[in-house]
Amino acid sequence: MLDYLGRCLVQLVVTLLGVVTVAFFLMRAVPGDPAQYMLGDYATKEALAVLREQLGLDLPVYQQYLLFMQRALTGDLGSSVVTGQPAMTEIMDSLPASAALAVTGLLIAIAIGVPLGIISAVRQGTWVDVAVMMGALAGISFPVFWLGLVAILVFAHKLSIFPALGASTSGGLLTQLYYLMLPAIVFGFSVAAYIARLTRSAMLEVLGQDYVRVARAMGIRESRIIGRLALRNALIPILAVIGVTFTLAFGNAILIEVVFSRPGVGSTLLKAILARDYQLVQAGVLVLAAVVVVVNVSLDVIYGFIDPRLRVT
Amino acid sequence: MTATSTQAAPSPGLAPAGGPVLDIRNLSTQFPGEDGPVTVVSDVSISVSAGETLAVVGESGSGKTVTFLSSLGLVAKPGRVTGGQVLLEGTDLLKLPQGELRRLRGQRISMVFQDPLSGLNPVFTIGDQIVEVLRAHRRMSFRSAREESIRLLARVHIPDPQRRIDDYPHQFSGGMRQRALIAMAIALAPKVLIADEPTTALDVTVQAQILELLTELRDDTGMALVLITHDLGLVARYAHRVCVMYGGRIAELGALDDVFTAPRHPYTISLFRSIPHLDTPPEAELTPIEGQPPNPAALPPGCAFEPRCFQARGRNDCKTIVPPRFATTKPAHLSACHHWRELGDLSIQT
Amino acid sequence: MTAQASHPFPLPAGQNPVLLISNVTKTFAARQWLLARSQPPVRAVDDVSLELRQGETLGLVGETGSGKSTLGRLVLRLINPTSGTIRFDETDITKLSLADVRRMRSRMQMVFQDPFGSLDPRMTVRSLVLEPMIVHGYPRSEINGRAETTMRQVGLDPQLADRYPHEFSGGQRQRIGIARAMVLDPKLLVLDEPVSALDVSIQAQILNLLRDIQRRTNIAYLFIAHDLAVVRHISNRVAVMYLGRIVETGPRDALYGNPRHPYTVSLLSAVPVPDPARERTRKRVALYGEIGSGNAVPSGCRFHPRCFRARLVGAKGAVPTVTASDATLPANCVHVNPELKPIGGGHSAACHYPDEVPAQA
CB-based contact C216:C239 (threshold 8 Å): no
Which are the contacts of B196, defined by CB distance < 8 A and separation ≥ 6? B65, B68, B111, B112, B113, B114, B228
* B65 and B145 together in one domain: no
* B195 and B154 together in one domain: no
Return the HEC string of B215-256. HHHHHHHCCEEEEEECCHHHHHHHCCEEEEEECCEEEEEEEH
pLDDT of residue A46: 81
Query: For testing the chain C interface, which of B64, B115, B205 should be mutated: the one with the most C CBs within 10 Å?
Result: B205
Mean pLDDT confidence for C63-83: 90
Question: Which residues from C are below 8 Å from A4, CB to CB?
Answer: 34-35
* B48 and B100 together in one domain: yes
By three-state DSSP, how is residue C320 classified?
coil
* A62 and A92 together in one domain: no
* C179 and C80 together in one domain: yes
Would you say residue C132 has pLDDT above 50?
Answer: yes
CATH of residue C74: 3.40.50.300
* Residue type at B270 in one-letter notation: S
Cα separation, B320 vs A62, in Å, equals: 88
Q: What range does the domain containing C273 cover?
A: 262-349
Cα separation, C132 vs A107, in Å, equals: 54
* A52 and A173 together in one domain: no
B174, B260, B280 member nearest C64 (Cβ): B174
In a domain, B346, yes or no: yes
Q: What is the pLDDT of residues B17-69, one digit of tens each?
A: 567 999 999 999 999 988 889 999 999 999 999 999 999 999 888 999 999 99
Mean pLDDT confidence for C257-276: 92
Task: Output the CA torsion sign for A147, A148, A154, A155.
Answer: positive
Touching chains, B (3+ CB pairs < 8 A): A, C
Angle at A265 between CA A190 and CA A155, to 5 degrees: 40
Q: What range does the domain containing B341 cover?
A: 18-120+189-302+321-350
* B58 and B152 together in one domain: no
Cα separation, A279 vs A76, in Å, equals: 10
Q: Which of the pair, B250 or A163, is modelled with greater confidence?
A: B250
* A238 and A144 together in one domain: yes
* A217 and A145 together in one domain: yes
CA distances from A144 to A109, A161, B270 (A): 14, 20, 67
pLDDT of residue C31: 52
Cα separation, B39 vs A308, in Å, equals: 42
User: What residue in C sits closest to B232 (Cα-Cα)?
Assistant: C274
CA distances from C102 to B101, B275, B317, C136, C296 (A): 59, 37, 57, 8, 35
Q: Among C80, C83, C120, which residue's Cα sits nearest to residue C101?
A: C80
Q: What is the pLDDT of residues C285-342, one digit of tens each?
A: 777 777 666 667 888 999 999 998 999 898 888 889 898 888 889 999 999 999 999 9
* B139 and B268 together in one domain: no
Would you say residue B148 has pLDDT above 90?
Answer: yes
Would you say residue A10 has pLDDT above 70?
Answer: yes
The gap from C-alpha C326 to its chain's centroid, in whole angstroms, comes to 33
pLDDT of residue B286: 87
Is the preceding peptide bond at B263 cis, omega within 30 degrees of 0? no
Question: Which residues from A are below 8 Å from B121, CB to CB?
Answer: 211, 215, 229, 233
Q: Does C31 touch chain A (CB under 8 A)?
A: no
Q: Please indicate whether, in this complex, the C-beta atoms of B121 and A229 are within 8 angstroms of each other.
A: yes
* A159 and A301 together in one domain: yes
pLDDT of residue C13: 58
Q: Please indicate whether, in this complex, the C-beta atoms of B119 and A214 are within 8 angstroms of each other.
A: yes
Helix count and strand count (H, E) for chain A: 13, 0
Residue A110 phi, psi dihedral angles, 5° rounding: -65, -45
Length of chain A: 313
CB-based contact A247:A204 (threshold 8 Å): no
Would you say residue A4 has pLDDT above 80?
Answer: no
Q: Does C114 touch chain B (CB under 8 A)?
A: no
Provide the edge-to-edge strand list for the sheet that holds B91-92. Answer: B36-49, B20-33, B80-88, B91-92
* C187 and C56 together in one domain: yes
Question: Which residues from C are below 8 Å from B244, CB to CB?
Answer: none
Q: Among A216, A212, A227, A205, which residue's Cα sits nearest to residue A115?
A: A227
pLDDT of residue C61: 95
Cα separation, A161 vs A156, in Å, equals: 6
Range of weakest confidence among B218-227, B276-285, C85-94: B276-285
CATH of residue A151: 1.10.3720.10
Q: What is the pLDDT of residues A184-237, one digit of tens each?
A: 888 888 888 888 999 999 999 999 999 999 999 999 999 999 999 999 999 888
Q: What range does the domain containing A46 cover?
A: 2-73
Write the burial class of residue B344 (CB in 10 Å: 0-12 exposed, 13-18 middle, 19+ buried): exposed
By three-state DSSP, how is residue B25 classified?
strand
Which are the contacts of A13, defined by CB distance < 8 A and separation ≥ 6? none
User: What residue in A sits closest to C38 (Cα-Cα)?
Assistant: A313
* A53 and A95 together in one domain: no
pLDDT of residue B194: 96
In a domain, C335, yes or no: yes
pTM for this predicted structure: 0.83
Q: Please indicate whether, in this complex, the C-beta atoms of A3 and C33 are within 8 angstroms of each other.
A: no
* C119 and C48 together in one domain: yes
pLDDT of residue C338: 94
In a domain, C271, yes or no: yes
Angle at A88 between CA A86 and CA A92, to 5 degrees: 125
Total number of domains constituting chain B? 2
In a domain, B71, yes or no: yes
Mean pLDDT confidence for C18-37: 74
Mean pLDDT of chain A: 81
* C219 and C326 together in one domain: no
ipTM of the complex: 0.86
Q: Among B201, B237, B347, B276, which residue's Cα sits nearest to residue C252?
A: B276
pLDDT of residue B150: 96
Which are the contacts of B283, defined by CB distance < 8 A and separation ≥ 6? none
pLDDT of residue A206: 93
**Shortest Cα distance, chain A CAs vs residue B19, angstroms:** 25
Q: Please indicate whether, in this complex, the C-beta atoms of C205 and B290 are within 8 angstroms of each other.
A: yes
Would you say residue A159 has pLDDT above 90?
Answer: no
Total number of domains constituting chain C? 2
**Shortest Cα distance, chain A CAs vs residue C224, angstroms:** 29
* B234 and B350 together in one domain: yes
Residue A311 phi, psi dihedral angles, 5° rounding: -70, 140
Q: Among B231, B294, B333, which residue's Cα sits nearest to residue B63?
A: B294
CB burial of B241-270 (b: ≥16 within 10 Å; e: otherwise) equals: bbbbbbbbbbbbbbbbbbbbbbbbbbbbbb
* C124 and C194 together in one domain: yes
Q: Among B153, B178, B128, B191, which residue's Cα sits nearest to residue A224?
A: B128
Question: Which residues from B are below 8 Å from C232, CB to CB?
Answer: 276, 278, 282
